[in-house]
Amino acid sequence: MLPNLSSLSFRIENVDTISVKVQKPKIPGFVDPGNQSRGVHKRRISDSKRKTQAALDLPALLTRDGKFRVHVPRLGQEDWQATFTVEQGTPLTMRMYTTGEPAPLQEDEDDDDEDIDYCAELEYRADLLPPTLYVSTLFEVSDRFLATCDMQPMGAPGVGNMTLQVFDVIAVALGVRTISLGDMASYRPEGPRPPITLDNSLSETLSLLRGYGYYEARGYFDSDFADSLEGDRTGAPPIEVELTRIKMIDLSWIHTLTTTPLKNLEGAIAGFPAVVNSFGFQVPEFCQRKYTVEWCAEHAARVRVNTIQPIFDWIKANFDEQSTRSAMDSSMRELCKRMTVGTTVRQQNAFGSALVQPFYVAVGKGDAVMLTKHIFNGKYLSVRTHPDGGDSVPLLEWTDVRQDIRVETGYVSL
């Protein structure tokens, strides 16, 4: 059903690094670092004594504790580097730890993160069929702990994205075809944000403003339909084809919700099943169950009560008649772009009430939506903004797992 990447080989670029290539999947070499308990101080071996191992096979990697450092090239800038520790157990874990004491708490801060000593965690679930990787933590720490994560340079933009790219490389090296995570992406208290956010969710807000979320841009999609791709597929199209078709319909759904003028929105939602059937391909059975006539009619009625009417009432109470007419001719996305920082929670909830999917999975802590990424022969499906602009349906494209990320070994304990 998916490519077998069990045949792994290695190539040493130089004495310091091993390059992981996608065409012929490779796995980083590891040197047995000896005792790697958290209580032991570590130092890097000098360049003249650093070791690499070119013939280390996968079982050897998974049966020992170790430590490796990744180098992620950045255009026109120094490499971003991060250190991960491999810890045995069920599941086997790879963690980026903190390296020092965080800044003291300010008077208005709480200490919810007091006991957290790692910034990112990837679990390898070899006990599952098929084996999978699970991103259990991705920088869910406060800013004062973020400054102690074992990475350089500190404060580099895009550390979450680069860490996910490293996890892609690990997946290819291990022959793993899926990576899963719970979407908890949110805006940091002191970081930049648009005037309006939906429950502080980065993914929901981006879906409203551009048509797709943070993780969708990186190939992670709703696990509900990922599960539908498993099992007996006799007579079904290839998984990558069905995945593409499902996402085309989902993106069209979000586009309908966010770009239709409010005065036409209720009818557009109720009529979406006809849009699904208008695509020039066999509609996946998953989408037929998802966007039913009954569910869309019910959601259209909810949007009228919880979104259209509250927004109309708010604008009518605060602006002149011309502004009210203009608002009803505008879409939710257009209105959001006109919002100011003073937008109330009630107004935000009105937008959020419309922007939902028929299926919703709550997992882990909070209301995380479970997402899954499929990797096919070193490629994954991702979403990007249409060249015509943000008001067109976003595009799907097949993206290569990065081939330029280097893995450095050669760590020992004192």
Residues 198 and 208 sit within 8 Å (Cβ to Cβ): yes
Q: What is the pLDDT of residue 37?
A: 31
Say yes or no to pLDDT of 377 above 80.
yes
- Count of domains observed in the chain: 1
**What average pLDDT does this structure show over 347-357?**
73
Is 62 strand, coil or helix? helix
Q: What is the pLDDT of residue 364?
A: 35
Distances from the Cα of 37 to the Cαs of 34, 64, 65, in angstroms?
Answer: 9, 12, 9
The domain of 170 spans: 17-177+400-413
Q: What is the pLDDT of residue 19?
A: 29
Say yes or no to pLDDT of 17 above 50.
no
Domain assignment present for 233: no
Say yes or no to pLDDT of 363 above 70.
no
Q: What is the pLDDT of residue 142?
A: 65
Q: What is the pLDDT of residue 30?
A: 25
% of the chain at pLDDT higher than 90? 29
pLDDT top residue among 375 and 348: 375
Say yes or no to pLDDT of 331 above 60.
yes
- For the ranges 114-128, 380-394, 399-413, the lowest mean pLDDT is seen at 399-413
**What average pLDDT does this structure show over 125-145?**
82
Largest CA distance in the chain: 77
- pLDDT class for 292, splitting at 50, 70, 90? very high
Among residues 60, 27, 62, which one has the least CA distance to residue 174? 27
Domain assignment present for 263: no
Domain assignment present for 4: no
Domain assignment present for 115: yes
Q: What is the pLDDT of residue 362?
A: 35
Q: Which two tokens stand for residue 88?
A: 């045995």
**What average pLDDT does this structure show over 343-362?**
63
**What average pLDDT does this structure show over 181-201?**
77
Domain assignment present for 113: yes
**What average pLDDT does this structure show over 288-306?**
93
Mean per-residue pLDDT of the chain:
74
Domain assignment present for 319: no
Q: What is the pLDDT of residue 12?
A: 25
Residues 311 and 354 sit within 8 Å (Cβ to Cβ): no
Pseudo-torsion of CA 352, 357, 358, 364, nearest 10°?
Answer: -90
Say yes or no to pLDDT of 54 above 50.
no
**What average pLDDT does this structure show over 282-302?**
92
pLDDT top residue among 143 and 93: 93
Domain assignment present for 68: yes
pLDDT top residue among 257 and 68: 257
Q: What is the pLDDT of residue 340?
A: 61
DSSP β-bridge partners for residue 122: 94, 135
Q: What is the pTM of this model?
A: 0.77
Say yes or no to pLDDT of 230 above 80.
no
Q: What is the pLDDT of residue 183?
A: 86
pLDDT top residue among 66 and 48: 66
Tens digit of each residue's pLDDT (9 = 90 or more) over 30-47:
222 223 333 333 333 333
Domain assignment present for 131: yes
What is the pairing mode between strands 379-384 and 395-400? antiparallel
pLDDT top residue among 295 and 29: 295
- pLDDT class for 321, splitting at 50, 70, 90? confident
